[in-house]
Structures are given as C-alpha cells and as structure tokens.
Structure 1
Amino acid sequence: MLGDTLTLVALPLVAVLALPAAFAGGGTRRWFGGRAESQRAEAQAAKDAAAAAFYELDTAQRDLRISIETIMAVDDSPAARRAVTDFEAIGRRIDEVSHQYINAVDAHDLDRDDLEASVAGQARAELTRAKDELGRVKQELDRFADGLGPLLGKAETQLARLAPAVERARQALLAASNALDAVRGTGLTADDLAARLAALGPELTRLNQGAGQHGVPQTLERAERVSREAEAVRVEAQRLPERAAEIDHRLVSLRTRAQALTTRAGQVEPVLSELRRRFTVACWQDLQRVPEQAVEHVRQAEAKLAEAQTARDAQRWPDATALLSTARALLNSTDEAVSAAGDRLTRLNAVQKDPRQEIERTRFAIRDAQRLAMAGRNTPDPRHARPLDDSVARLERAVATLEGRHPDYWHFLTETEAVRHTVADVVARIREERGAAAGH
C-alpha cells in the first residue's frame, strides 16, 4: 500500500551477522597477547550489541510499516497523509544509521590473526557509535509509533467492521428476496419493490469485488446503505398483504360514508327553509350553497374512489392510498358543511329561547380571568387588563343587539365566542408569564 516511496534498502543482515571466519587456510590463530585479545573481545561484544540494535530497529520498522499500510487503506485525512510523510522521513533516517552500521562492520575484520589492539579499539568505538545511533533512531521510531495510536485504532476499527458489514448486506438482500418471493406467492406482484431490489444488484457486485478495489470507507458506506435499503424492501414486502387489506377496507368504508352523506345532504334543505322562515338573512346566508356543494363533493369523492379501486386492482399502492386520502378529505368537508346547518339551527333555537345562558357563560369567563389577573397584585398589568376591559365592552354591545325587533342571533353568538377566545388567550399568557417567573 505504501508504494516504492516507503521501500528501504534491503540490508544483508544475515551476511552482516555471519562474517568470514578468522581461520586462514585452516591454520591455527596467532595470538598476540592479552591486551589485543581483550580489545578483540570488547570489539566483538560491541559488534554483537550493534547487530542486536540493528535487528530491533529493522523489526520495529517492518511492524510499523504494516500499521502505516493499515491506516492508508482506510484513512485519507490530512492527519493520515502527514503520518505517511513522517514515516518516510524516519525511513530515510533509518537508512542513514543502517549504512553507518554496515560500514562499521565492513571496515573491520575482527577475526584477523594480526588484529592490533588499536585497530580493535577503533572498531569497538565505531560499532558502539553505530549501536547508539541505531538506538536513538529506534527511540524516535517508538515515539512516532505511539503517536499513531488514534489513527491506527480508528483504522483497525473500520477494518474490523468491514467483513461483518458486508455479510450483513448480503443477508439483508437475501432476506428481502425471500420476503418478495413469499408475497408474490399470495398473488401480489410487488413490481415496485422488485425494481428497488434489482437496483441493488450492481451494489452487491461491488461489495463482492472487495475493499481492495473500491476502498474501505467506500465499501463500508456501500454495505450499510445496501443493508438499509434491502431491509426497507423486506419490511414493505412483508407488510404488503396487510396494506392491500387495509386499502380494501378503506374503499368499502368510504363508499358507505359517501352514500350516507348523500342521504344527509338531502336533509339540509328543510333545515335551511326553517332558518329562512324564523331568522334574519345574516343567520343563514353563508349556508345557502351547502346542499349543492354537498352533492358535488360527494360526486367528486365517488369518482376518486373509483380511481382508487382501479389503482388497487393494478396494485399501484401509493396511487391508491393518495386517491383514498383525497376522497376522505372531500367527504370530511362535506360532513362538516352538512353538520353546520343542523348545528346552526340548534344553537339559534337555544339562544332565541333564552340568551341568558350564553351571556352568563361569557361573563363567567371574563370574571375568572379578572380574578387571575389580580391574584397577588394591587393593580392588574395593563397588558392583561386592557383586553379584558375591551371584552366586557364587546359583550355589552353584543347583548344590546338582541334588543331590536329582528335580533341577529348569529352575530350575537359569534361575538360571545370571540370574546371567550380573547379571554382564554389572556389567561394563557398570564399563566405562561408566571410559570416563567417561578422558574427563575
């Protein structure tokens, strides 16, 4: 993964550690006294120590190269690229001290019969310096390796996730395929789900090609996405029979409701006739078009239901669901309009018979809000008092409209309802402000 830039010079370690023997022509070694042999032994010990330091450094570098390759396989962040650059720089430093060591070994034949004490001492000094340099670079390499901990941990975590993630994606695709086969066995085509599953085929091919071709992060992301999408297909396939049954039920229910509303819409006209006969125009004029609108809305709803049935037969489930929602909305608005006419007559009858209940209900709401506004205060906050005072005046004006020969009872009802809404807003604001103050 690191490429040629991280390839160190191949060091002939075995050759270095196994130099030619000190026996000339099979003869016996010549001895030059104790001092020369003592210096030779010290030099040999220095050589052995340097060889051990060289071996440790070489082993550490090889191990660290594996860590760098692991990081590069997963991480392309600036920190990872910087780590690679730093490793290359340390590699060049390792080359330098390694050549220094090799030159020191090659420069001195410690097995020569005529090795002088001064030469052995020089060899010992050079080999000791080489060993010390190798040790210093080893320490530098160790510090660098310690600093790689977070990057290496992240890379190893991603690599550890890779194989399970790919396997989960394969299993998810298999489960989705099995679920699709099962639902087709019930007579449902599920063409849209089959198309979605087929679209994941090329993604499975890329997963099988491996992270070496597509990269670890990209392969992980692809595996997780394939798992999610395949699982969604599986869940929808398993739910499809239930969804079909639900749509069938809604079709029957909404058709029944449309028929009932057709009957109820026919009862609106007698209600309007009574409203026109007993109350002023303002009390019923907004309801004039309810009968014809109800008929039109029911007709539109029935048309949408027919389209929904066609979509359901073709197993176009999203279209069927959308059409059913449109039909339901049309029937809801029709229901509200038809109910409004009967509710209007009921409320007008009640207030015509005795408006005092509506008046007292509204006055009670105002008084309750006024008590709350004064709680714990000598004078109310103007922000609360002003809308409450306005509500009192508005209620009195509404009551005054009942004194005429042809009272507009609907105006009276809408005014009292508006007053209660205003009062409720003031109460909510007071409680919110006091709750916030108590929190502090």
Structure 2
Amino acid sequence: MTATPSQPYRPSVPYAHRPAVRDTLALLALPLLAAPVLAAAFAGGGTRRWFGGRSENQRAQAQAAKDAAAAAFYELDTAQRDLRISIETIMAVDDTPAARRAVSDFEALGRRIDEASHRYIDAVDAHDLDRDDLEASVAAQARTQLARAKDELTDVKRELDRFGEGLGPLLGKAETQLARLAPAVERARQGLLAASNALDAVRETGLKADDLAARLAALAPELTKLNQGAGQHGVPQTVERAERVAREAAAVRAEAERLPERAAEIDHRLVSLRTRAQALTTRAGQVEPVLSELRRRFVAACWQDLQHVPDQAGENVRLAEQKLKEAQAARDDQRWPDATALLSTVRALLNTTDESVSAARDRLQRLNAVQKDPQQEIDRTRFAIRDGQRLAMTGRTTPDPRHARPLDEAVARLERAIGSLEGRHPDYWHFLTETDAVRQSVGRVVAQIREERGGGH
C-alpha cells in the first residue's frame, strides 16, 4: 500500500459520492491484496491428510493467527484508502501550512504502513501451513510471527485512526469550500447571461451602452478559466473568481437596466439647468442696482466685499452655459459618465452664482432693517445672553468660570457693537456681524453646559 495520493482530486466528481468512491476502491483492491493470502489459505484444502495430536493443534493455532493478521491487514488497508480520499480533498482546497503538514504526516504514516504490511506478507510467505509434513515447532514459529505481524498492523491502524480524528477541522473547511464551488460557478454563468440579455434589451431601445459592453467583454477570460475547471486553477481560486464574476456581471446588468432611466434623468437635468441658468442671467443683471443703492445709503464697509458679484455672476453663467452645451453633446453621443460630470459642474457653478446674487439682496434687506430699528437686533442678542446666564446659574450659587468668562465677554462685545452705531455714518454691517458673532459665542457656551450636565446624568 502507498501513502502518497495517486491521483489529484477532481472537483467534477461530486463530493457527496465519496462513500461510493471509497467502497468501489476497496472492492477493486480486495482481490489484489487478498489473492496471495487466500491462495495460501485454501490451496490443497481437499487433499491434505490430517494428523491428530500436537502438530495439528499448532497448525490450527497458526492458521487462526494467520486469519487474524489477514483481518487486521484488510482493516488497515480500508482505513488508509478512506483517509487518502480525505487527504486528497484537503489537498484540492487547502494550501495552508497546516494542510501541508497533514499531507506530510500522512506520507510518514504510509511508510509505517508499508513496513508493517511487508512484514505481514513476509510472515505469510515464509510458512506453508497446508504442508502435510508441517512440524509442530514450525507451526508454533509461524503463529508467533503472524501474531506479531497482526499486532503491528493493529498498532499502525490505531495511529492512523488518531491521525484521521485530527483532520476534522481541515476536512470540514475543505468540504465547505467544495460545497460552495458548483453553486458559485453556476451563479457566475447565470449572472453573465443575465447581463448579456440586459444589454441586448437596452440596445433595442436605441441606446449604445458601449462602456457596459466593454466591461462585460472584459469578463470573457474569467469565464474561460471557470469553464476550464477547479482541477486546473484550484478550488479556492475558482470559488473566488466565480464570486467576483457574479458581482461584476450583476453590476453591469443593474446599470444596463437603469440606463433608459438614466438617459431620461440626464435629459430632465439638461432642461432644468438650462432654465435655471436663464433665470440667473436675469437675476445677475439686477445686482448692479442693488449695489448702487448700497453705495448711496451706507458706508463703504457695508458693500465693498460685494463689488465683484455682477462680473463674477456673469462669468459663472457664461461658463455654465458653455458646459451645458458640452453636456448636451455628450448626451447625444451617449457618453453618459461625461454628461453626468458636466452637469454636476454646471450645477456647482449655478449654486455659487445663486448664493452670491442672493447675498447682495439679502445684505440690502438686513441693512435696511437694522437702520430702521437697531433695537430689535440688540434685544435678540441680549435675550440669547440672558438665556445663557440663566442656564449657567441653574443649580449653582456661583457660575463656573469656564462659562462665566465667555458670557461676560459677550456682554462687553455687545455693548461695544451698540456704541459703534453712534456717529453720523454708522457701520451697520459691522454691527450685524458682531451681534451674529456674540450669539454664536453664547450658543457654544450653552451647548457646552448642556453636554456636561447631560454627561453627569
């Protein structure tokens, strides 16, 4: 018997059939191994003369020892064949150090099995127990050698059994991988077919989908490797490849199915952004009159940062219109990624323009309001400060300096802002930015207090 797997594992044979394979191998091997033993056991059985006495008793004992050794030999052979199938399964799936060590240990056990088997065969060949003139001393010697051979075969079988029990984790992992193999490959093939069908359906609507077709074509070499089988490329690698192909094919299919909707969405965005650009062109033209009023009624500090708005707005709108033309051309050529990217650029330009144009009008409205009644802004800010002070004193006789200090600074800063309104030409914009900053400072203190008290609970 040999311990080295004679043939590599073939994933095309379902692993569920392993018991049938094992039984077949055992049955095929039985006549080869049993032939010399059975021939020796039964040769001349009908013609031998039987003598009574001590000689025949020793012959019978030797024959019993021979039968017991033969049974041990067959049990060891069957166990080794069973274990070889497990080792081949592990080899087909696992290339870790633990798996390689298991194969090496199995080979070492195989050498021990070969040695014990040879000694058993030598003991059988050394004595013809059917000889008519078999002496009692020779029969006794044969019994002793055969019993020793049987014990050695039994010991090796015990070692083999212990080794087989230790293969459980590796074998379980290998069986799990093999169980995943066929379904994974089938999912990959079905996924590729579904993606191809989805592309065909899209093309029938007049959409080209060239980029998706290129991605699908790139999977062809992977399909070839899947068709070549795990025997050539390895089980783990084939499972991984099948899962990757299935994912990529599913992505192509999903994008293909969504392509008509995507084309309609791009068409809608083109119309919407074009309309918005036209509206902003009109609004940008209204910024200059707003700036004129700001210059006439308020000091320079209230409007200097808005001087660039008309020119910048006009430039942004012109650039957005140019990008819209490029996006339309990309859509006509069905370059969907390019069209989408260009539309995103247009949207960003129009958003920036909208904010700057709105800023000028909002500035005028806020300055008009504070010029007419600054007290409303003052009261709003003082209320925020008092609210923060009450919260800081809740449950305390004296405030925490970490809270009191910024609140006191907020009071002083508000008073300075109020003082800046005195004079002939007050800077209302400075006043508004200061009150905004005071409220933000108080808001941070309030948030800090609530976070600390919430954490204390």
TM-score (norm. length: structure 2): 0.91
Q: 1:191 is matched with which residue: 210, 214, 223?
A: 210
State the 1:159 CA deviation: 1.1
Cα deviation for residue 29 of structure 1 reads 0.6
- The answer as to whether partners of 1:172 and 1:230 remain within 8 angstroms in 2 is yes
SS in 1 for 2:40: coil
Distance 1:218 1:160 in 2: 14
Distance in 2 of aligned mates of 1:240 and 1:349: 52
Q: Match of 1:321?
A: 340
Counterparts in 2 of 1:378 and 1:116: CA distance versus 1, 3 Å: farther
SS of the counterpart of 2:420?
helix
Q: Does residue 1:312 correspond to 2:331, yes or no? A: yes
Q: Kindly indicate whether the alpha-carbon contact (under 8 Å) linking 1:401 and 1:412 is maintained by their aligned counterparts in 2.
A: yes
Which residue number corresponds to residue 223 of structure 1? 242
* 7, 18, 42: which one aligns with 2:39: 18
Alpha-carbon separation, structure 2, partners of 1:427 and 1:368: 9
2:65 to 46, 59, 73: 46
Q: 1:407 aligns with which of 426, 432, 436?
A: 426
Q: Is residue 171 of structure 1 aligned with residue 200 of structure 2?
A: no
Structure 1 position 349, deviation (Å)? 1.1
Shift of 1:4: 8.8
- Structure 1 residues 282 and 53, CA gap change in structure 2 (3 angstroms): same
**Given the alignment, which residue of 149, 167, 176 partners 2:168?**
149
- Counterpart-to-counterpart distance in 2, 1:28 and 1:394: 128
Q: Match of 1:270?
A: 289
Cα shift at 1:157: 1.0
Instruction: Quote the residue 1:205 is aligned against.
Output: 224
Assess if the C-alpha contact under 8 Å between 2:3 and 2:84 holds in 1.
Answer: no
Distance between the aligned counterparts of 1:418 and 1:362, measured in 2? Answer: 10
Q: Deviations over 1:228-263 (max 9, x none)?
A: 111110000000000000000000000000111111
Equivalence for 1:29: 49
Q: How does 1:22-421 map to 2 (within 5 A)?
A: 23=44, 27-31=47-51, 33-421=52-440
- Residue 414 of structure 1 and its aligned partner are, at CA, apart by 0.4
- One-letter amino acid of the structure 1 residue matched with residue 36 of structure 2: A
Q: Structure 1 CA distance, aligned partners of 2:390 and 2:113?
A: 88
In 2: Cα distance, 1:420 partner to 1:284 partner: 23
- Give the whole-Å Cα distance in 2 for the aligned partners of 1:4 and 1:198: 46
Contact 1:17-1:51 within 8 A present in 2 as well: no
Structure 1 counterpart of 2:175, one-letter code: E
What is the Cα deviation at residue 121 of structure 1?
A: 2.2
Q: Give 3-state SS (helix, strand or coil) of 1:404's partner.
A: coil
CA contact 2:3–2:110 (8 Å) conserved in 1: no
- The answer to whether the 8 Å contact 1:272/1:288 transfers is yes
Tell me how far 1:95 sits from its aligned partner. Answer: 0.8
The amino acid across from 1:348 in the alignment is L
Secondary structure of the equivalent of 1:19? helix
Alpha carbons 1:271, 1:341 under 8 Å: kept: yes
CA contact (8 A) 1:23 1:29 kept: no
What secondary structure, in the 3-state scheme, does the structure 2 residue paired with 1:128 have?
A: helix
Q: List per-residue Cα deviations over 1:313-338 (Å, max 9, x = no partner).
A: 01111110111011111111111111
With 270-279 and 298-307 compared, the bigger mean Cα shift is at: 270-279
What is the alpha-carbon distance in structure 2 between the residues aligned to residue 43 and residue 18 of structure 1?
Answer: 16
How far apart in 2 are the matches of 1:371 and 1:20? 109
Shift of 1:434: 2.6
Whether contact under 8 Å (2:90, 2:170) holds in the other structure is yes
**Cα shift at 1:5:** 4.6
Instruction: Indicate conservation of the 8 Å contact 1:22/1:29, yes or no.
Output: no
Give the Å deviation of 1:375: 2.4
Q: State the distance in 2 between where 1:413 and 1:22 align.
A: 120
2: distance between equivalents of 1:435 and 1:51? Answer: 83
The structure-2 alpha-carbon separation of the partners of 1:345 and 1:20, relative to structure 1 and needing over 3 Å to count, comes to closer
The separation in 2 between residues aligned to 1:309 and 1:256, in whole angstroms, is 14
* 3-state SS in 1 of match to 2:421: helix
Give the distance between the partners of 1:27 and 1:15, measured in 2 at CA.
20
1:378-430 Cα deviation digits (max 9, x unpaired): 33222222211111111111111011211111000000101111111122222
Amino acid at match of 1:432: E
1: CA distance, partners of 2:437 / 2:181: 65
Give the residue type in structure 2 aligned to 1:143. R
| Contact 1:297/1:331 (8 A) holds in 2 | yes
CA distance in 1, matches of 2:268, 2:48: 109
Given that 1:22 and 1:112 are in contact with CA atoms closer than 8 Å, whether structure 2 keeps it comes out as no
SS state at 1:110 partner: coil
**Distance change (3 Å), C-alpha of 1:366 and 1:279:** same
Deviation at 1:122, TM superposition (A): 2.2
**In 2, distance between residues paired with 1:21 and 1:80?**
44
Cα deviation 1:107-153 (Å, max 9, x = unaligned): 22111112222322222222122111111111110111111111111
Instruction: Single out whichever of 381-390 and 233-242 deviates more from structure 2.
Output: 381-390
Quote the sequence identity (%): 81
Q: CA deviation at 1:28?
A: 4.6
Specify the SS of the correspondent of 2:404: helix
Distance in 2 between residues matched to 1:381 and 1:161, nearest whole Å: 65
Structure 1 residues 311, 23: closer, same or farther in 2, change over 3 A?
closer
Which piece of structure 1 moves more, 428-437 or 73-82?
A: 428-437
Give the TM-score normalised by the residue count of structure 1: 0.95
Q: Which amino acid aligns with 2:294?
A: L
Name the CA distance, whole Å, in 1 between partners of 2:405 and 2:399: 9
Distance, in Å, in 1 between the alignment partners of 2:38 and 2:158 is 23
